[in-house]
């Protein structure tokens, strides 16, 4: 009975995750997507870089956006025949051009694995006159070179004036749980192909 209960709980978890992916694909129905399973990850506690079971034979290309949870997880950085490597937005060298969804003020979301231990990444280069408020939705901008526009990244937090008097900075709480990932959606077009 314990074995059956364990199998049932595991099946329910996977079913709920697949339902979430379906809801996410419907949320971003303007984009054609394909589901993929994470088959490996780096050695850190986070899914900062991970491998999925889809590759060239599935139409995956470098710079395709990857979604999970309620929004942007990362971008494809390497592709093989039956696999692809995804670098997530929390990785230290990752930057995403973004905007506030209501005020359209621009900013940069910058990955920071050390800050992720506290549950957020950096939000920088916000103009001093910007009206980005606490828990404001932050989405990918149209000016991003690799990320498709309008994808939810997270919520602004603790925005303060910088010492230079010209900009503000703070934190972003990502909408993706980068500790618990199994399946993702890959958007089957790149920003370059779209425009």
The residue with greater pLDDT, 66 or 28, is: 66
Please list the residues that pair with 154 across neighbouring strands.
Answer: 138, 174
Q: Tell me the C-alpha distance between 162 and 35, whole Å.
A: 41
Q: Tell me the C-alpha distance between 40 and 105, whole Å.
A: 37
Beta strands of 27-118 (E only): which ranges? 33-41, 49-52, 65-68, 71-79, 84-88, 95-100, 106-110
pTM: 0.86
Summary mean pLDDT of the chain: 90
Three-state DSSP at 92 gives coil
Distances (CA, A) of 63 to 74, 148, 192: 9, 10, 9
Q: Residue 82 burial (CB < 10 Å; 0-12/13-18/19+)?
A: middle
Tell me the mean pLDDT in the region 122-137. 93
Q: State residue 16's pLDDT score.
A: 66
Backbone angles phi, psi at 18, to 5 degrees: -70, -35
Percent of the chain with pLDDT over 90: 72
Q: Tell me the C-alpha distance between 13 and 22, whole Å.
A: 14
How far is residue 139 CA from its own chain's centroid? Answer: 10
Tally the C-alpha atoms within 13 A of residue 184's C-alpha that lie toward its C-beta: 35
Percent of the chain with pLDDT over 70: 87
Q: State residue 42's pLDDT score.
A: 86
């Amino acid at each position: 009975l314990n074995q059956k209960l364990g199998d049932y709980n595991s099946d329910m978890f996977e079913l709920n995750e697949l339902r979430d992916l379906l809801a996410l694909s419907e949320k971003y129905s303007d984009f054609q997507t394909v589901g993929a399973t994470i088959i490996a990850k780096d050695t850190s506690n986070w899914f900062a870089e991970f491998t999925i079971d889809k590759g060239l034979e599935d139409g995956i290309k470098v710079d395709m956006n990857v979604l999970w949870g309620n929004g942007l997880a990362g971008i494809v950085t390497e592709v093989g025949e039956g696999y692809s490597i995804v670098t997530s937005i929390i990785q230290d060298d990752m930057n995403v051009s973004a905007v506030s969804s209501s005020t359209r003020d621009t900013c940069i979301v910058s990955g920071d694995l050390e800050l992720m231990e506290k549950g957020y990444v950096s939000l920088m280069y916000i103009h001093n006159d910007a009206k980005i408020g606490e828990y404001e939705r932050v989405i990918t901008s149209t000016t991003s070179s690799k990320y498709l526009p309008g994808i939810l990244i997270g919520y602004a937090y603790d925005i303060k004036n910088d010492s230079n008097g010209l900009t503000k900075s703070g934190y972003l709480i990502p909408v993706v749980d980068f500790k618990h990932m199994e399946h993702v959606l890959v958007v089957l077009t790149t920003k370059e192909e779209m425009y």
